[in-house]
Every structure is written in C-alpha cells, then in structure tokens.
C-alpha cells in the first residue's frame, strides 16, 4: 500500500495512493505519522470507509504540483546515517565504518516532494544526496531480528540536501544538514510488502544522472539500523531514518574549471527510487 499526505487548503489529510494515481482520503488522520501512531482497529475502520468511498468513485484526482506534503509532518525524530554506501565512502576518502555514523535533523528541516528548495544567502554550496528513508511504524526499544523488521512501517525517498560550507565548519555535520525546509521527503510511503530490497536509487540534476546505485549496497541495511538505533532510544511511530547516500555527490566532483557543481537557482533536482516514485524539486 502507498500512503501520502495531501494538502487540502489550510489543512492536510492522509491518503491512500491508488494504482491509477488517484487519492483516497483516510478519514481521521492528518498525516501518515498519525496513521502509524493509531491502533489496528482505527486503521481498519479508516480503510473500510476508504473502500466504501472508492466504490462510489469519489477519489481525488492524481495530485498536481505541490499538492503532496512530506508524508510525516512533524516526526519526533529524524535520524540520518552518513557514509553508508561503499562507493560514497570511497569518494570521500574514508574507511568502512565499524558502526553507523549518525546525525540528526528536525521536523522543520523537511519539505515536500515537489516544493522549492532555496539556496540560502549564508551558504551557496548546496549539494544533492538521494537517500532511501525508513519510516518507523510500530517502533520500540532494543529491537532485534524479526521485531526490528516488524517495526518498519514503510519506505520513502528523501534527499539530504546539504549546505557544505556550514557542514565543513566543524567536524560535527549537523549545521549543514539540518537547514530549514531543505530535505524533501516523499512523495509517499510504500509498505514493506510492496518494496523490493536492492531497488535502484538515482539522483538527476537538470536531467543528468549524478547518482545511480542499488539500495542493496548499504553497509548497514534498514533492519541493522533499526536494531542499532533502538538500543540508543525508543523508536516511535512516524520517526524517519535516512539511510545514507551513494557516490556521485557534488562534493566528490569537479568541473573542467576545477569547481564543484553545486546546485544553483533554476536547477531541477529529481530523486527517484524504483518502486517508491520520484521527487521533483526546483532550486530557487
């Protein structure tokens, strides 16, 4: 099942994304985070109402530009993993880590899958980092094996757009990673039964492929990350875990003029993962 959060005027609603790309509202849920936080009975009733609505064919049309928000509007935690694809580790000159490298973002760091992303006046060194995102469903503490796998509510796309100037000011990365409205998430969350491990992940800038890899190349996969993170803190419904980016970022490239090809106003950033859809964000 595909779940998204649709903007409806001044409010939002969780929706089911149908096979024909139409949207069926899930009554009583403002976003996908609320859906995962609810009990089984509440979700079952919402699906019953949604199925009845579909029978009468009142589904909303396929969303147009800007109508989808990030699926989880205010996650309690946004935990990110750095240096988790072998080719990205190689291009940055680092060693394969023994443990996951962690940093955090905030709810205000997130933005929608078709929203504009601003080049801030404080830092022009904008870089792309397409990522597979784990959305926590049931959550829990000190999870292992099947329990860790069962805690995953679904998967989504994110792009950890980074302000490399601020990131490089210290050895701690968060200043360049948590920038407001810089991290698009979505367009939807796909439940684990419909996601194929090893899916292709790609990032394009103005139609040119910059990153292309398999999500099976992760050093620490989704279950391993849930196990590790749940030792540290209780994972809650709607928490996001960004699992890291493949090689091909601007930081690892130089043009013929010797400069790095940072994102600039007017660029179109496309991030896609097989089975999870795609994002399209204009840089302004």
Cα angle 16, 19, 21; round to 5 = 70
Q: Position of tokens 């949604």?
A: 50
Q: What are phi and psi of 272, to 5 degrees?
A: -140, 150
Residue 32, helix vs strand vs coil: helix
pLDDT digit of tens for each residue in the chain (284 aa)? 999 999 998 899 999 999 989 999 999 999 999 999 999 999 999 999 988 877 765 667 778 778 999 999 999 999 999 989 887 877 777 788 899 999 999 999 999 999 999 999 999 999 999 999 999 999 999 999 999 999 999 999 999 999 999 999 999 999 999 999 999 999 999 999 999 989 999 999 999 999 999 999 999 999 999 999 999 999 999 999 999 999 999 999 988 788 999 999 999 999 999 999 999 999 99
Q: Position of tokens 């991030």?
A: 271
Q: What are phi and psi of 37, to 5 degrees?
A: -80, -15
Domains (ranges, CATH) in the chain?
Answer: 2-55 (no CATH), 72-282 (3.90.850.10)
What does the block give as tokens for 243? 């699992």
* Residue among 94, 231, 75, 99 nearest 156 (CA): 75
Q: How far apart are CA 6 and CA 29, in angstroms?
A: 11
Q: Which helix (H) or strand (E) holds 42?
A: helix 40-55
Q: Position of tokens 């001044």?
A: 10
């Amino acid at each position: 099942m595909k779940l998204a959060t649709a903007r409806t005027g001044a409010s939002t609603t969780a929706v089911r994304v149908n096979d024909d790309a139409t949207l069926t509202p899930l009554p009583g849920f403002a976003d996908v985070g609320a859906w995962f936080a609810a009990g089984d009975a509440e979700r079952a009733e919402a699906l019953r109402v949604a199925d009845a609505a579909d029978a009468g064919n009142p589904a909303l049309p396929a969303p147009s530009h800007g109508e989808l928000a990030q699926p989880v509007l205010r996650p309690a935690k946004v935990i990110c993993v750095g240096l988790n694809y072998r080719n990205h580790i190689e291009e940055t000159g680092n060693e394969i880590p023994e443990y996951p490298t962690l940093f955090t973002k905030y709810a205000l760091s997130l933005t929608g899958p078709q929203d504009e992303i601003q080049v801030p006046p404080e830092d022009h060194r904008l870089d792309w980092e397409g990522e597979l995102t784990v959305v926590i469903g049931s959550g829990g503490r000190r999870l292992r094996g099947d329990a860790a796998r069962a805690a995953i509510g679904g998967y989504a796309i994110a792009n950890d757009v980074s302000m490399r100037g601020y990131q490089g000011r210290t050895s701690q990365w968060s200043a360049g990673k948590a920038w407001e409205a810089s991290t698009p998430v979505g367009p939807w969350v796909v439940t684990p039964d419909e996601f194929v491990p090893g899916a292709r992940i790609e990032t394009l800038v103005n139609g040119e492929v910059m990153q292309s890899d398999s999500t099976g190349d992760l050093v620490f996969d989704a279950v391993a990350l849930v196990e590790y993170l749940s030792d540290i803190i209780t994972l809650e419904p709607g928490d996001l875990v960004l699992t890291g980016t493949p090689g091909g970022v601007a930081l690892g490239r130089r043009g013929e003029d010797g400069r790095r090809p940072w994102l600039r106003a007017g660029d179109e950033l496309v991030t896609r993962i097989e089975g999870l859809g795609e994002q399209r964000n204009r840089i302004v």
